[in-house]
Amino acid sequence: MPKPEICIHWFRRDLRLNDNAALYHALKSGKPVLPLFIFDSHILNHLEDKSDARVTFIHDAIVALNNALKQQGSGLLVQYGTPEEVWASLLHNYTIAAVYTNHDYEPYAAARDQKVAGLLQQHGIAFHTYKDQVVFECNEVVKDDGKPYTVFTPYSKKWKARLNDFYLKPYPVARYHKNLYTGPTPGLPTIEALGFSRSNIVFPPVQPSEAIVRTYDRTRDFPAIEGTTHMSVHLRFGTVSIRQLAALAVSSNETYLNELIWRDFYQMIVFQFPQVVGHAFKREYDNIRWRNNEVEFERWCNGTTGYPIVDAGMRELNATGYMHNRVRMIVASFLTKHLLIDWRWGEAYFAQKLLDFDLAANNGGWQWAAGCGCDAAPYFRIFNPYLQTQKFDKDHHYINQWVPELNSFDYPAPVVQHEAARKRCLEVYGAALKKV
């Protein structure tokens, strides 16, 4: 019997049914749309921690997707393997009219998509891709002469000037649910079948708190309070739509909107300047003679530097997969400036631990803190962890939560003295930049 012709929507960083650009276009095409998710063995094999919370997060998200699809009489086809193998078997098992998916900008993803597009092309199958995870893509907000911005403020001004309702309009996916594929799909694999065990980290709810967004500009810098939205993991995996959040920000808080623009900005930087993966944006910073002391790095990772705000942040990260943005800036500055440890070590540690790990935002954040990125603070402005504590955790509520032994003999002495470390940093950076 001839196999019925279908389209496939390939879910990646867009794990939701509502307001999903590629899914909308696939359904609108009129052919039955089979929803697909691939557990990519290239990626899973790289994860050292076999209870990595991100695998649990994705698994929960695909279970939720599958349940929502079942309510429409459909289901999610979940495959495990390399994308090349999986697509080869799909080509064998289905008659595919076209494949739809949303853009993914990271270097690995771009190379993967190029291969899959090539394979599909050999079979005469179109590969349709759409913007979905950012408001403006890499080449949509550029200088008047067409060159990319490297400084945030003028970029954000142009970004805001370009914005209108069209860019934030949700895609009405539900209107075309009737076109979902209703044939049989096998059950989902368990986490154990993927070679992982369930993590017990608690994930933030998928809807942002509108009350927090409204007061965001006043609350966002204080790690002891619920003053930020915890949307980063949902934005990372697309369980929430960036258009929904940006629309909320536009109507209620400009500071919040600016943070979402930083996200687009860093995506644009990695795309326009791919050399930032592995190198300083300002190349002369690659000359810094990092000390890279492994024992001190270990103390930083474990949260035993003897600097309470740094230790609280690292312990929060290790226990929850999350760290407050203000504290991320403090610990990153401390590692690179106080300890003179290569920012790439810190970047890699965050990549391993952060639930919301995103190559572009993480690279941008680390290069900003080390002073070597585009639009970074000048290197001679070195965060003083004690002053930062006075300003943002005056009553030690955050510190006490994570460093309960602070006032006991169990708490270690500082790994370096602030003033001496500051002076050493200025000398080392200065030498690299030929300023001494």
Q: Does 229 bind ligand FAD (CB under 6 A)?
A: yes
Residue 161 near residue 136 (C-beta atoms within 8 A): no
Decide if residue 366 touches ligand FAD (CB under 6 A). yes
φ, ψ for residue 318, nearest 5 deg: -65, -35
CB of 50 to ligand FAD, least distance (A): 21
Total residues in contact with ligand FAD, by rule CB under 6 A? 28
Q: Which residue in the set 44, 81, 217, 262 belongs to the binding site for ligand FAD (CB under 6 A)? A: 262
Among 26, 369, 376, 432, binds ligand FAD (CB under 6 A): 369
Q: Which helix (H) or strand (E) holds 78?
A: strand 77-81
**Alpha-carbon distance 32 to 9, whole Å?**
10
The yes or no reply on residue 357 touching ligand FAD (CB under 6 A) is: yes
Name which of residues 158 to 177 contact ligand FAD (CB under 6 A).
none
185 counts as binding ligand FAD under rule CB under 6 A: no
Tokens of 249: 């920000």
Q: What is the largest CA-CA distance in the chain?
A: 79
Query: Rounded to the nearest whole angstrom, what is the least distance from the CB of residue 136 to ligand FAD in the complex?
Result: 14
Long-range contacts of 285-291 (CB under 8 A, 24+ apart): 285/370, 285/371, 285/372, 285/432, 285/433, 286/372, 287/432, 287/433, 288/340, 288/342, 288/372, 288/428, 288/429, 288/432, 289/428, 289/431, 289/432, 290/340, 290/341, 290/342, 291/339, 291/340, 291/341
The residue (of 175 and 397) whose beta carbon lies closer to ligand FAD is 397
Question: Residue 85, SS3?
Answer: helix
**Interaxial angle between packed helices 325-333 and 385-392, expressed in degrees from 0 to 180 and rounded to the nearest 10:** 170
CA 89 → CA 105, 177, 268, 280, 354, distances in Å? 25, 26, 34, 41, 33
Cβ closest to ligand FAD, residue 80 vs residue 271: 271
User: Which region, judged by CB under 6 A, interacts with ligand FAD, from 53-61, 88-96, 180-188, 351-359?
Assistant: 351-359
Q: Tell whether residue 253 is a contact of ligand FAD (CB under 6 A).
A: no
- Nearer to ligand FAD (CB atom), residue 260 or residue 432: 260
Interatomic CA distance for residues 186 and 79, integer angstroms: 10
Between 120 and 268, CB nearer to ligand FAD: 268
In sequence order, what are the beta bridge partners of 9? 35, 100
Smallest distance, Å, CB 228 to ligand FAD?
A: 3
State whether the Cα torsion 7-168-15-48 is positive or negative. Answer: positive
**What Rg, from alpha-carbon coordinates, does the chain have?**
23
By CB under 6 A, residue 271 contacts ligand FAD: no
Do 269 and 147 form a contact (C-beta atoms < 8 A)? Answer: no
Region near ligand FAD per CB under 6 A, out of 43-51, 115-123, 289-297, 350-358:
350-358
Looking at beta carbons, which residue is closest to ligand FAD? Answer: 365
Helix (H) / strand (E) containing 389: helix 385-392
Positions marked active-site: 259, 262, 290, 325, 343, 366
Which of 24, 155, 334, 350 touches ligand FAD by CB under 6 A?
350
Task: Kindly state whether residue 365 participates in binding ligand FAD, applying the rule CB under 6 A.
Answer: yes
Query: With respect to ligand FAD, which residue has the nearer C-beta, 256 or 429?
Result: 256
Each residue 290-329 as x (binds ligand FAD by CB under 6 A) or -, in order, gives: -----------------------------------x--xx
Site of interaction with ligand FAD (CB under 6 A): 220, 228-232, 235-236, 259-260, 262-263, 266, 325, 328-329, 332, 350, 354, 356-358, 361-362, 364-366, 369
